[in-house]
Amino acid sequence: MTDYFQLNVPRDKLQSISTLGLAHLGDGVFELMVRSWLCLQGKATSRGLHRAAVRYVAAPAQARAVEKLLPVLTEEEEAVYRRGRNTSPHSIPQNASRADYQAATGLEALFGWLWLQGRSQRLNQLFAQIMEEMPCL
């Protein structure tokens, strides 16, 4: 049975996954981390949790988050981020610019890529970097 919380996808399989596939997975990983962080910050009601989570996972917020991460990414991580960022989006949400949406897609691709490798420690390091000095909305 596959343990989906402790993955270690082989390199060749990882490289065969589309950038949009990585971003789709990374979106869920990032949102789960945000929701966990919010619960630990004392956001108790589901309505409050949802509203706060949306603010953190929206493309403009993720684009700002990327700015905090770029200086600490390895060359390989930066290449994955760029690959995600350079993917042509099919549509862009109304509340985001094209640049913000592409940066967010890059961040999500990176988080999906790390998740598939089972690199939870690195995910936690990057997430902590993003959330450092972040107000709990």
CA angle 61, 66, 69 (to 5 degrees): 135
How far apart are alpha carbons 30 and 23 in whole angstroms? 10
Query: What angle separates helix 59-69 from helix 120-131, to the nearest 10 degrees?
Result: 100
Q: Is 27 a catalytic residue?
A: yes
From the candidates 3, 12, 27, 100, give the one annotated as an active-site residue. Answer: 27
Cβ-based burial of 74 (10 A; exposed 0-12, middle 13-18, buried ≥19): exposed
Cβ-based burial of 20 (10 A; exposed 0-12, middle 13-18, buried ≥19): middle
How far apart are alpha carbons 26 and 17 in whole angstroms? 12
Active site residues: 27
